[in-house]
Structure 1
Amino acid sequence: MNYKFTTPIKMPRGTHYGSNYWMFESKKIHRCVTAYSNLEYENLLTLEMNPEVEYYCEQPYSATVFVGGKEYKTIFDVYVVYKNGREEFQEIKYQQELDSDSAKGKRSQKQIGIQKMWCIQNNFQYTLRTDNDIEKGQHFIRNLSVLSAKSRRFHVTSTEADKAIISYLSRLQKTTIGLLSESGRFEPNKTLDYLSDLYYRGIIRFEDICNDCLNNKTEVIFCGS
């Protein structure tokens, strides 16, 4: 598939955009990804680890919109392509900021209105994601960060070990990390590495990943290969 937006706009770190600066290597899009706030980083992490997301690009496009004879420019936070073919632009905001009557809150609300208008005019889907959508539980982002880091370093797709592990999990359907570690089917101390790769690919999911840190009692559920 040819993606419409593939080159992120470089934002200056000397402005408010660089107040919280994150960079990480993306396994999904095969390059270094940059985020300019903690919440933007968390959102990119959810996209990176969502098996339904095929591609994404941060700071993908600067749009121009005319409202009441005035010209406004806005940069979208993310362009996302899903495996089902859906494309959308995302804007990332804290809910508290949107609910505020402060000058910053009003600027954000105006920005969202401008972006929605551009998307309607240009036939694009638009999604506003807040911390309520992204931070699904006390431990969700922390767990994703661990899984993402391990999955970037570990890749076993299409190997005999990979096929054997998937076959084993398909028979069990549901077990725990601890029991898998004790099963003898994983290299010593590599169980979570394997599971992180399988989670990244959507072959397994973890029970209660939002509200509890990953541990030996965490249940592993087979989703299908």
Structure 2
Amino acid sequence: MYTPIIVPRNKKYGNNYWNSDGPKVNMREVILYSDLEFENWVLAETDPTIKTYCEQPIEISFVVDGKLHSSIFDMWIKKTNGMEKFIEVKYDIELQPQHHNYNRNMRQIVAQQEWCKNNGFNHQVMTEKEIRAFPIGLENRVKMLSCIKNSPKISAKDSILVAVKEQPTTISQIFKELNGKYSIREILETCYSLTYYGEITANINDQIWSANTEVWLNESYETDRK
């Protein structure tokens, strides 16, 4: 629906430049302009309730005190239920009155919120308080996404879906139930994929992916399976 706006790397943009292939956008190159934008992208890519997204999707213009200003949203997402949202990523300090760009930042956010309201979209400001709320989860998602991008062979999928229960089950318990048919690594990589696509849920916010990781069937998947 949107095409990313490529922003030239200069003093304002590109000090923490990231680029990566995005599985949800047909493996096209995704360009991010800060560490926080990269981490926000990781959350979007590994959230099974998000169908697609676009970074730097659209630029809007607005007038304040007779002066024309512009703003580019950091991300647009579309959920699997059809809901669309525009996101602005900011460090929390940038939203504090003592910050030297506070007035400009708030002017930008208010303009974005007004534009979204007038056009029937949701709007959200994401800071490190939300994006980095679960550091372990973020690390696990980076690992999961790396595996997804490399398209691992997941021949264990059907067997693991049979072994996964409605109640939390550890990777090591699945290994034992399958009588060693698949290695712990094969089970983990398969669980990365199943979690990415929302077929199972894992306690990835609590501990690093390992044999002790707990997984269980996604409620909506379990309903469909019945």
Give the alignment's TM-score, normalised by structure 1.
0.88
Cα displacement string for residues 116-145 of structure 1 (whole angstroms, at most 9, x for unaligned residues):
122223222111111111112231211110
Cα displacement string for residues 99-126 of structure 1 (whole angstroms, at most 9, x for unaligned residues):
2412123322221112112222322211
Give me the whole-angstrom Cα distance separating, in 2, the residues matched to 1:96 and 1:18: 19
SS of the residue aligned with 2:102?
A: helix
Give me the whole-angstrom Cα distance separating, in 2, the residues matched to 1:11 and 1:138: 29
Cα RMSD between the aligned structures?
2.0
Give me the whole-angstrom Cα distance separating, in 2, the residues matched to 1:44 and 1:57: 10
Alignment counterpart, residue 171 of structure 2, candidates 169, 174, 177: 177
Structure 1 unmatched ranges of 5 or more? none
Alignment counterpart, residue 50 of structure 1, candidates 39, 47, 51: 47
The change in CA–CA distance for 1:198 and 1:156 in structure 2 (over 3 A counts) is: farther
| Contact 1:138/1:212, CA 8 A, preserved across alignment | no
Give me the whole-angstrom Cα distance separating, in 2, the residues matched to 1:203 and 1:132: 28
Matched, 1:86 2:83: yes
Alignment counterpart, residue 33 of structure 2, candidates 27, 32, 36: 36
**Percent identity (aligned):** 31
Matched, 1:215 2:210: yes
- Deviation (angstroms), 1:156: 6.0
Match of residue 197 from structure 1: 193
Give me the whole-angstrom Cα distance separating, in 2, the residues matched to 1:210 and 1:22: 24
The change in CA–CA distance for 1:211 and 1:173 in structure 2 (over 3 A counts) is: closer
Give me the whole-angstrom Cα distance separating, in 2, the residues matched to 1:218 and 1:47: 22
SS of the residue aligned with 1:17?
A: coil
Match of residue 27 from structure 1: 23
- Deviation (angstroms), 1:62: 0.7
The change in CA–CA distance for 1:164 and 1:177 in structure 2 (over 3 A counts) is: closer
| Contact 2:53/2:76, CA 8 A, preserved across alignment | yes
Alignment: residue pair count: 217
Structure 2 unmatched ranges of 5 or more? 222-226
